[in-house]
């Protein structure tokens, strides 16, 4: 099932980049669902609008909204994600923005894989309310 998770690997042993891989998809799905549910945009406009929320630069700014809301455990996962090394960096983002976006994705993946969908939704709602794409 789409929203049920039962990882066979201990979540504490997962790579932050593996968690970010999942978190990227979680954020993308939440943004797309919210845009479809709140606008009447055409598909190409939906894609353009979605990228304003899921780009590395946008995620870095969104993280500024969310960081004060995080628990200590969530902040630790975020830090692990930010410190994870990647071989490449996005074309349109700084290294700091890219690391912050990886941290946010890591956090969302960690929460999702624990089945903490209520917390994912709570953070996403705060992000949606506080972030204005440019």
- Looking at the annotation, which residues are catalytic? 24
In the chain the first and final C-alpha atoms are separated, in Å, by: 35
Residues 123, 120: Cα–Cα separation, whole Å: 5
Q: Is the dihedral of CA 87, 19, 43, 98 positive or negative?
A: negative
């Amino acid at each position: 099932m789409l929203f049920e998770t039962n990882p066979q690997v201990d979540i504490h042993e997962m790579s932050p980049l593996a968690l970010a891989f999942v978190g990227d998809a979680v954020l993308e799905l939440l943004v797309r669902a919210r845009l479809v549910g709140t606008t009447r945009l055409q598909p190409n406009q939906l894609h353009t609008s979605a990228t304003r929320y899921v780009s590395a630069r946008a995620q870095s700014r969104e993280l500024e909204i969310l960081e004060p809301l995080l628990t200590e455990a969530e902040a630790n996962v975020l830090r692990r994600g930010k410190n994870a090394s990647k071989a490449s960096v996005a074309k349109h983002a700084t290294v700091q923005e890219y690391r912050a976006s990886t941290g946010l994705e890591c956090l969302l993946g960690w929460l999702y894989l624990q089945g903490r969908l209520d917390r994912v939704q709570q953070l996403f709602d705060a992000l949606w309310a506080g972030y204005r794409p440019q």
